Amino acid sequence: MICHTCGGENRHLTWCDEYHPKVVYLHTAPKARNTDPTTSHQAAASVTVDTVTSTQARILDALQANGPMTDEELCQDIAATTASPVSVSGIRTRRSELVTAGRIIDTGRRQPTRTGRKAIVWGLK
């Protein structure tokens, strides 16, 4: 994975700067677990729920440009086409929000990942 902050090709476990992704839940109430700190509850309460985040827009753009893709392919495409840092779990979470919102569907197809496991192929509704 290439770090989009420093350009380094080693596997960063954290971003080089103090990047913290903005989380916006599409058409769902922002959530914090009961065990989360007060700051998490405050952050959840401050989220706008009626907008598509930039990451969600990138996912929709990738599917529009390339057709149906697995989460792994989405992550690779977005990492290759943006200067902003990308989190694999963040991409999956934003894609899941788009599924919940009815913008993306399970195509019914499965294809192997790099590890050989089958993955859902997602497409635009």
Q: Which two tokens stand for residue 81?
A: 């086409």
Fold exhibited by the domain 38-124: Arc Repressor Mutant, subunit A (1.10.10)
Q: Give Rg (Cα) of the chain.
A: 15
Distance CA(125)–CA(123), nearest Å, equals 6
Question: 114 with 73: CB under 8 angstroms?
Answer: no
Task: List the domain boundaries for the chain.
Answer: 38-124
Kindly give the confidence (pLDDT) of every residue in the chain, 125 residues in length, as a single tens digit, with 9 standing for 90 and above.
444 455 555 544 444 444 444 443 444 555 677 788 888 777 666 655 455 778 888 999 999 999 999 999 999 999 888 887 788 888 998 999 899 888 999 999 999 998 999 999 999 99
Secondary element (H or E) of residue 118: strand 118-124
Cα distances (Å, whole numbers) of residue 20 to 29, 67, 84, 124: 20, 29, 11, 28
